Amino acid sequence: MTQYVYGKNVVHQLLKEQKRIYEVIVSEGLKDRELIKALKQRHLTIRSMPRKQMDRLLKTEHHQGIAACIDDYKTYSLEELLETIPEGKTPFLIMLDNLEDPHNLGAILRTCDAVGADGVILAKNRSVSLNPTVAKVSTGAIDTVKVAVVNNLSQTLVRLKEKGFWAVGADLERSIDYREADFTVPLVLVVGSEGFGIRPLVRKNCDYCVRLPMVGTITSLNASVACGILLYEVFNQRDHR
C-alpha cells in the first residue's frame, strides 16, 4: 500500500534517507529551486498540478505545494521494538493511550527523536495512525522513531513490567510531582488522550503516576506539551551532557 505525504521538510527527509519515492507532485509555480533540483538529481517522476487540484487530492491546503507518493509507514510489534533497543542502554518507551489528534502525535514523535527515546506504543484501535499529517508535523521523526502497534495496552504494560520496566503514568489524581520521580530505570511513560487522560484499566497497571504542577486557572495541558516536558525530565535525569 502507498500513500501521499506532503510538506517540504517531509520530502527533504525522504530524500536525505534515500526513501523509495514513486512519484512527486508539485503545485504549478512552485519556486523552491533547490528542492526541485534535488528531486531531479534523484531522477524522480515529477508531476505538476494546479494548487486547487492538489488540495482536493491531499484533502488539505497545508501541503506547501509538494507531495510524495511512498510506501505506508512501517510499524512494529512490541517484540520487534524491544529488539531494536541497543544492548546496554537503559530502555525508554512512550505509550500513548487513545491519542486521537495527529498533530499531537507528530509533535510527540519529534520530541522523542530529540531526546533519543527508543519508541512509541499505540493501540491498534481508537488511536491515531501514522498518516500524512503526523508525518508533516513530525518533520521527519516519523522515520526515525519506531512505533509499535499493539492490541491491548494494559496487557502490554504487564508484559513490559515482567521484562523489568517501570510503568509511570501522567495523571493528576493520586500522583507525585514529576520532579520527584526516578526516571533513570527502564521506563515506559504512559500519556493519555487529549480529552480523557489515561483509561482506568491502563492506569491500574501503572506502578505510579506523576503530575505537572500548575498554578494558573487552566487545569490541563495539551498532550504533546505535557509529554514534551516529561520527556525532557527523563533526558535531564539520564545526564546526556
User: Averaged over 14-25, what is the pLDDT?
Assistant: 90
Give yes or no: residues 25 and 84 share one domain.
Answer: no
Residue 80, pLDDT > 70, answer yes
Give me the pLDDT at residue 195, please: 75
Which CATH number characterizes residue 161's domain?
3.40.1280.10
- Going by the DSSP 8-state scheme, the letter that residue 115 receives in this structure is H
**Average pLDDT score, the chain:** 92
Identify whether the C-beta of residue 102 lies closer than 8 Å to the C-beta of residue 131. Answer: yes
Give yes or no: residues 61 and 104 share one domain.
Answer: no
Residue 159 CB burial class (10 angstroms; 0-12, 13-18, ≥19): middle
Using pLDDT thresholds of 50, 70 and 90, give the confidence band for residue 241: low
Give yes or no: residues 155 and 196 share one domain.
Answer: yes
Give yes or no: residues 90 and 66 share one domain.
Answer: no
Residue that finishes a domain, picked among 37, 71, 105: 71
CA-only gyration radius of the chain, Å? 19
Give yes or no: residues 97 and 208 share one domain.
Answer: yes
Q: Which residue has the higher pLDDT, 122 or 140?
A: 122
Kindly provide the b/e burial profile for residues 208-223, where b requires at least 16 CB atoms within 10 angstroms of the residue's own CB.
ebbbbeeeeeeeeeeb
Give yes or no: residues 184 and 120 share one domain.
Answer: yes
Residue that finishes a domain, picked among 27, 44, 71: 71
What residue numbers bound the domain in which 46 lies?
Answer: 2-71
pLDDT digit string (tens) for 170-218?
A: 988 889 999 999 999 999 999 998 778 899 999 999 999 999 998 888 7
User: Averaged over 45-55, what is the pLDDT?
Assistant: 94
Which CATH number characterizes residue 10's domain?
3.30.1330.30
Residue 111, pLDDT > 80, answer yes
Give the separation between CA 51 and CA 29, rounded to whole angstroms: 9
What amino acid occupies position 130? L
The number of distinct structural domains making up the chain is 2
Give yes or no: residues 34 and 99 share one domain.
Answer: no
Give me the pLDDT at residue 17, please: 81
Give yes or no: residues 135 and 82 share one domain.
Answer: yes
User: Averaged over 228-240, what is the pLDDT?
Assistant: 91
DSSP H/E element including 83: helix 78-83
Give yes or no: residues 107 and 11 share one domain.
Answer: no
Give yes or no: residues 107 and 15 share one domain.
Answer: no
Give yes or no: residues 60 and 89 share one domain.
Answer: no
Q: Which residue has the higher pLDDT, 168 or 31?
A: 168
pLDDT digit string (tens) for 139-169?
A: 889 989 999 999 999 999 999 999 999 999 9
In the chain, what percentage of residues exceed pLDDT 70?
99
User: Averaged over 69-79, what is the pLDDT?
Assistant: 93
Give yes or no: residues 110 and 95 share one domain.
Answer: yes
Residue 92, pLDDT > 90, answer yes
Give the separation between CA 38 and CA 36, rounded to whole angstroms: 5
Give me the pLDDT at residue 136, please: 87
Nearest to 165 by CA among 99, 239, 94, 91: 91
Residue that finishes a domain, picked among 71, 90, 119: 71
